[in-house]
Structure 1
Amino acid sequence: MTTPITIPAPPKVGMVSLGCPKALVDSERILTKLRAEGYQMSADYAGADVVLVNTCGFLDSAKEESLEAIGEAMAENGRVIVTGCMGNEADVIRARFPDVLAVTGAHQYEDVVQAVHDAAPPARGAFIDLVPEGGIKLTPRHYSYLKISEGCNHRCSFCIIPSLRGDLVSRRIDAVLREAEKLVAAGTRELLVISQDTSAYGVDTRHEPRDWKGRPVRAHMTDLARELGGLRTPEGKAPWVRLHYVYPYPHVDHVIPLMAEGLLTPYLDIPFQHAAPAVLKRMKRPANEAKVLDRIKAWRTIAPDITIRSSFVVGFPGETEADFQYLLDWLDEAQLDRVGGFRFEPVEGAAANDLSDPVPEEVKEERYQRLMEKTAAISAAKLAAKVGRTLPVIIDEVGEPDEEDGSVGATGRSQADAPEIDGHVYLRDVPEGLAPGSFVDVLVEDADEHDLYGVIAPGA
């Protein structure tokens, strides 16, 4: 009689991931490594043998949110490992939570995994299928973040990212392309390229070329964009490729024709932060706003459907009413499609904290509201111009049939909409069987300040 093999119960790991998409990629890598070692994932605190909290430390408010998340995990579970950007402030974390099991910094994957080993040793089993193709994903199956580098070489006065994540360290181009290829093969239909400075990719390695498919390819944003544009899904379709955190260096001009050719999604996320020269100087950022306006016009000539998203800080120390009005006038000229706004917030360790002439909180709030009104009006006009057009849309979610008439709605995004930060396209009367990740052509019927409404185009 054969004795049944007893497979040891694997330990379970819970994860709380805070902050930006780059932190989310870190979380995915950590979980993929742990899953490969036999760990199971827990959807709640109660079922976890240990809980990982991936923190954000960019703003003081984000730090407080991270501390609250740590506190909740400690209260609900008690066995907590802290990692991420706020891991650089281990003394602050341990002062409030002396019983945390370990504290590690950003992208210290091996340290995190070792801490998990110490807290909950892995159960080894040769008969377990450990890792799904493409690794562990915290985003929906049909889109994935592709991180191409760590760190940043800029020294903006309001930012502490270099002290948290170090200087720029670019990944090898062949490693990035191999990961992208595997993601697309595993079901990704949209790649979101992220880093602290996508335009600077490969600067630290002098754009070192690597062999890819029998030919040399440089570690350079334009080469990367061209190669990603050549990827195809198992069905032979081109995935969307969306570029985030793009500084407007001159070579960015060379990726616009790739958008016009359909190799890249016509979308650029550019962190302008402000437009007034005096504020940009205090921020220690390039003050070439007039030239940028000319380049935006040229980009739109080459790729008329290009979407430009950005974010702006209001109430930076020394910002005058004239500076703020300059920004509003600049936005009237630039006509950016998607805009996020932030009230300036001091961050411990940032040089901007020592600048003179702080802006009163009530003035910050008033300027923030004016910025949002301005950009909402621009967005509403741009979206209204899309009514009557047919646009490609990727489906994110399909609803349940209506109880009265059985109709089904769906939520998707156009090429102008990145997940989590931009608008949506709401569809009515979608056909049965429509699945997330599907590409459909949508006839736009209506629009508001941020979203579009429509129906799948006849014959699509």
Structure 2
Amino acid sequence: MATKFPDAPKIGMVSLGCPKNLVDSERILTKLRSDGYQMSADYAGADVVLVNTCGFLDSAKEESLEAIGEAMAENGRVIVTGCMGDEAELIRAKFPQVLAVTGAHQYEQVVNAVHDASPPIPNAFVDLVPEGGLKLTPRHYSYLKISEGCNHRCSFCIIPSIRGDLVSRRIDAVLREAEKLVSAGTKELLVISQDTSAYGVDTRHEPRQWKGREVRAHMTDMARELGQLRDADGKAPWVRLHYVYPYPHVDQVIPLMAQGLLTPYLDIPFQHASPSVLKAMKRPANEAKVLDRIHKWRAICPDITIRSSFVVGFPGETEADFQYLLDWLDEAQLDRVGAFRFEPVEGAAANALPGAVPEAVKEERYQRIMEKTAAISAAKLAAKVGRVLPVIVDEVGEPDEEDGSIGATARSQADAPEIDGNVFLRDVGEGRKAGDIFDVLIEDADEHDLYGVPV
């Protein structure tokens, strides 16, 4: 007679906010899976629903509260975690029936809350966790979180009050996780933190032994070691650096990009260019020196892509400040740009600053900066027409009913998933799959995307 295993309790999950939250969700689910829980694709089939919240902006908090409300309505057994966990009173006032509320990256408390709500059923016969853990991203790319928290005190940001000061992971732990991810099929590593350039500052760049040599907990050492990773076929994964503040030592990673050891891509949160606005934001105000360094970076690595984001309508921002930013962008010629209208966040020092910018002016400036950056992007992408570039495939389409041709959605090295553009491919042929990396001829471009065909 066959052994009948008891049904494992099922967990539903909603993960909101940034990639750092997504990594937290993956860690929580990996631990729960190893404890014997199954994942539920919907609320109805779940014994408990986890909502991993975002609390960075008031609009993000609204979205988080809506997600909690939906989970309560559909299921009723809800545990709340993430950045809004620090506002337990607000959550409980609105949803008194939530089972538990925990803060950001409090993995043990979340898991314990799940155990209390729906105890695990021990089962020694089943290996529950795949190599590399559970992933909420596609198999071919993975986020590699190197630290928590931030030492900056930018006036518009409440991240330090939510996630605390910088706490860096050990360098050997970071590299071991990266190696596991690559061996499990990851073709692209996206390095994330609140401040990647500050990695290891809190541990005084403590060295550890790795592969028989000493490696410091420092961005440049980490970048160099990640550039040595190879998969089972001896191929190097793409390694993409996010949230990089332009400290002087960032100059040292540019030659690694020129050598092909790192993806030639830097995500730098400039936020503004006007010295007076940067001062009000409590951010370093050396925009002229940054322009000089950008030119030097491009001289060393001509294919480098620089992405950034900017806040418009910050308190006290004048028309002259905004024009300064537009002129700076003309000079900087950044490849990828996102912009945000300033939004007061409860607990942020910027709320008390004088000179609030009217909503209509914010909107008008937002439209102008998007128009400016779209034109820069269109010109930069048009210059790539006729070139052969490597791409990574995210999705392969179905064969066309008439001629059987197959298209695919891919990204170039200039495109991070979810936030940048795509390369839309025609006639990729049979046998291509997500995660494949190959060369394509760029045939056309628009403001944000490229179009091509495999060579």
Q: Same fold (TM over 0.5)?
A: yes
Q: Counterpart of 1:170? A: 168
Shift of 1:144: 0.1
Shift of 1:331: 0.0
Give me the whole-angstrom Cα distance separating, in 2, the residues matched to 1:261 and 1:430.
29
For 1:418, which of 403, 416, 427 is the aligned residue?
416
Shift of 1:6: 2.9
The reply to whether residue 132 of structure 1 matches residue 130 of structure 2 is: yes
Q: Counterpart of 2:376? A: 378
Give me the whole-angstrom Cα distance separating, in 1, the residues matched to 2:405 and 2:76.
46
Q: Deviations for 1:105-155, whole angstroms, at most 9, x for unmatched residues? A: 000000000000011100110111210011000000000000000000000
Q: Counterpart of 2:216? A: 218
Unaligned residue ranges in structure 2 (runs of 5+): none
**8 A Cα contact 1:8 1:124, kept in partner:** no
User: TM-score with structure 2 length normalisation?
Assistant: 1.00
Shift of 1:161: 0.1
**8 A Cα contact 1:174 1:211, kept in partner:** yes
Q: Deviations for 1:60-115, whole angstroms, at most 9, x for unmatched residues? A: 00000000000000000000000000000001101110000000000000000000
Q: Matched residue of 1:193: which SS?
A: strand
Shift of 1:215: 1.1
For 1:30, which of 12, 28, 31 is the aligned residue?
28
For 2:358, which of 357, 360, 370 is the aligned residue?
360
Q: Deviations for 1:150-191, whole angstroms, at most 9, x for unmatched residues? A: 000000000000000000000000000000000000000000
Give me the whole-angstrom Cα distance separating, in 2, the residues matched to 1:358 and 1:455.
49
Q: Deviations for 1:37-61, whole angstroms, at most 9, x for unmatched residues? A: 1100011001100000000000000
Code of the aligned partner of 1:99: Q
Shift of 1:253: 0.2
Give me the whole-angstrom Cα distance separating, in 1, the residues matched to 2:213 and 2:241.
24
Q: Matched residue of 2:416: which SS?
A: coil
Q: Counterpart of 1:116? A: 114
Unaligned residue ranges in structure 1 (runs of 5+): none
Q: Matched residue of 2:59: which SS?
A: helix
Code of the aligned partner of 1:56: C
Q: Matched residue of 1:64: which SS?
A: helix
**8 A Cα contact 1:143 1:190, kept in partner:** yes
For 1:152, which of 141, 150, 153 is the aligned residue?
150
Q: Matched residue of 1:66: which SS?
A: helix
Code of the aligned partner of 2:247: Y
Give me the whole-angstrom Cα distance separating, in 2, the residues matched to 1:7 and 1:219.
46
Q: Matched residue of 1:47: which SS?
A: coil
Give me the whole-angstrom Cα distance separating, in 2, the residues matched to 1:6 and 1:445.
58
Code of the aligned partner of 1:262: G
Code of the aligned partner of 2:435: G
Q: Counterpart of 2:9? A: 11
Code of the aligned partner of 1:310: S
**8 A Cα contact 1:85 1:164, kept in partner:** yes
Give me the whole-angstrom Cα distance separating, in 2, the residues matched to 1:225 and 1:123.
42
The reply to whether residue 229 of structure 1 matches residue 227 of structure 2 is: yes
Give me the whole-angstrom Cα distance separating, in 2, the residues matched to 1:405 and 1:347.
53
Code of the aligned partner of 2:417: P
Shift of 1:405: 1.2
Q: Counterpart of 1:299? A: 297
**8 A Cα contact 1:15 1:51, kept in partner:** yes
Give me the whole-angstrom Cα distance separating, in 1, the residues matched to 2:314 and 2:41.
40
Root-mean-square deviation (Å): 0.5
Moved over 3 A (4+): none
Q: Counterpart of 1:448? A: 446
Shift of 1:4: 3.6
For 1:209, which of 207, 210, 216 is the aligned residue?
207
Q: Counterpart of 1:44? A: 42
User: TM-score with structure 1 length normalisation?
Assistant: 0.99
Matches within 5 A, 1:38-437: 38-437=36-435
Give me the whole-angstrom Cα distance separating, in 1, the residues matched to 2:235 and 2:367.
42
Q: Deviations for 1:331-361, whole angstroms, at most 9, x for unmatched residues? A: 0000000000000000000000000010000
Code of the aligned partner of 1:253: D
Identity %: 85
Aligned residues: 455
